Amino acid sequence: MKSIIERIERGHFWKFNGGIHPPEQKFLTKDKPIRTLDLPKQLVLPLQQHIGEMGELLVQVGDKVLKGQALTRHHKAMALPIHAPTSGTISAIKPSVIAHPSGLTGPCLFLTPDGEDKWLERTPCEDFYSLPRDVIINKIANAGIAGMGGAGFPTHFKVNIKPVINYLIINAAECEPYITADDLLIREQSSTIVEGIK
């Protein structure tokens, strides 16, 4: 058997051509509307949700929280806060299996929803064009926005560079044969997506 380097140089790494091409099954869901799921009895929130450091905890067991409330505080450039996805009570803070291919455990907050889904008071900005760049970057950081790729890279870190940008590419391509979520999201929430792009 030839070495890996020799196979790469010959452009023939494997004995077969191409890869697996499963048939697309998008017809199963492409016309089914997006709907809201009922709240579960308990939510498990990993404290480490991005490539940076875990934030400092702002809550403890027994605390009542509101939807959108920061549960951790970021204190370093590569750290992000996490927020309560609904209102309820912090029922535990302990290691739990996280949603990661490794199957490893990580520190997690356990939130028991109260069923009210009550928001923290919000103060939306009506004209973000009027805000200075550093204020916008800070808002992105405080919102805990991270990339959806494997690393979960903090977005405020990426947008705080000053390159010359000529084009903005919006990747809405669906990579899996069954996925139709991007297509439906674009059809149902196009105006919101355009606002996000702006």
Give the separation between CA 128 and CA 187, rounded to whole angstroms.
25
Tens digits of residue pLDDT in 174-196: 777 888 888 888 889 999 999 88
pLDDT tops 90 at residue 111: yes
Percent helix, strand, coil in the chain, to 5, is 20, 20, 60
Tens digits of residue pLDDT in 73-101: 987 767 789 999 999 999 999 999 987 77
Tens digits of residue pLDDT in 121-162: 998 888 888 999 889 888 988 888 887 766 677 888 788 877
Return the exposure string of 13-25: e unless at least 16 CB atoms fall within 10 Å of the residue's CB, then b.
eeeeeeeeeeeee
